[in-house]
Structure 1
Amino acid sequence: MYHALRLVSAIFLAVAATGVSQSRAESPSFSTPSGNILCYVPVHLGSFDAEADLFCHIFSADWTPPSEEFCDLDRTATIALGPKGNPSESMFCHGDVFWPVPTPVVSYGSSWSVLGYRCEIAESGVTCVNRDGHGFEIARRGRKLF
């Protein structure tokens, strides 16, 4: 998992180095003003894969998704959504340094979209949908997959 985290970090640094626009509409990631929710679409060598999944992590939640794998590191509740179909939830296993790359903060009442994903950011949580209209709501108090 450590190597995967290093890869994601390297990818985001590569995006920054290539001069890809980091506007809300084109940024591969965002976080809420509270910093509790972080969402991203993986980028490879400065470009998006049209079939990439959207991942949203919540760092402090009153709920816990199912977990099947052993992890002796930190865990973060995560929801993944593909370009088509239903979302899934899991516990993401990671080390202490989880997200070392600066992520644009999207203000409450705003939206973020990339690759057919659209997320609405509110003080009550984040709602994201894919091209098929499937998606999820994620918040400290709970989550809803649809």
Structure 2
Amino acid sequence: MATQRTIRTWMAVDAVLVVVLLVLVVGRLAGGSGTDDQAGPSASPTVQVQGPTAPSTEPVSFRLPSGNIACTLAPGGVTCTIASFTYRPPAVAGCDGDTGHVLVLNADGFAFDCVNGPAPAVAGDDVPVLEYGSQVTSGAYTCSSATNGVTCTDDQGVGFVLARASWRELP
């Protein structure tokens, strides 16, 4: 008899949990459907671009919508970080740390940077998003966001393409 009572108790607890879960799911779905701002108040800011590019002489930081790649452009150059990648990282002479996570483009050209310490994390919601299909410019440097990664170049076309699965030096 005690076994049947235990089974009934657990069935009642399970039923209550299922009802609570359904209420949460319905509340979550209903909460996002009646507003024009579907992302809600915690949405990430976006990099403001006007037309195909927004030239600037100020530093501009952004992340791709995935958050895996983040970059900072300034008139003096570009630095991009990638939190997670599957390509084979290049060797950097004299580096005792990790390579593959930080790329730099400046007047000296393109290079991977040596990272001593933990790898960069995925960019947070506080970093503005550069939507896919958009680009931003600071000084002589332009970065373009796409579903297959980021492309950053200087005004001579020197630069790189960076994605989770690969990287490529330009031109």
For residues 32-86 of structure 1, the C-alpha deviation after alignment (integer angstroms, 9 at most, x for no partner) is: 0000000003xxxxxx6x4x22101111111223244234xx876111101x453
- Superposition TM-score, scaled by structure 2 size: 0.56
User: Structure 1 127/97 Cα, relative in aligned 2: closer, same or farther at 3 Å?
Assistant: closer
Write the mapping of 1:31-42 to structure 2, written as runs, cut at 5 A: 31-41=63-73
The residue correspondences of 1:85-104 to structure 2 (distance < 5 A) are 86-95=109-118, 102-104=126-128
Q: Does 1:118 align with 2:142?
A: yes
The aligned counterpart of 2:91 is: 66
Count, aligned residues: 114
Displacement of 1:92 in angstroms is: 2.5
CA distance in 1, matches of 2:99, 2:95: 11
In structure 2, runs of 5+ residues without a counterpart are 1-46
Deviation at 1:89, TM superposition (A): 1.3
| Structure 1 residue ranges, 4+ long, deviating more than 2 angstroms after superposition | 22-27, 67-71, 90-102
Alignment of 1:1-146 (within 5 A): 23-24=48-49, 25=54, 26=56, 28-41=60-73, 50=75, 52-63=76-87, 64-67=89-92, 68-71=94-97, 77-82=101-106, 84=107, 86-95=109-118, 102-146=126-170
Contact residue 39 and residue 54 of structure 1 kept, 8 A: yes
Using the alignment, how far apart are the partners of 1:97 and 1:135 within structure 2? 21
How far, CA to CA, are the matches of 1:105 and 1:28 in structure 2? 11
The 1:127/1:96 distance shift into structure 2, 3 A limit, reads: closer
Question: What stretches of structure 1 of length at least 5 have no aligned partner?
Answer: 1-21, 42-47
Distance 1:39 1:96, change over 3 A: closer
Alignment partners' CA distance in 2, 1:97 and 1:55: 12
Instruction: Give TM-score, length-normalised by structure 1.
Output: 0.65
1:32 maps to a residue whose letter is L
Q: 1:132 to 1:79 in 2, by over 3 A?
A: same
Deviating more after overlay: 135-144 vs 84-93:
84-93
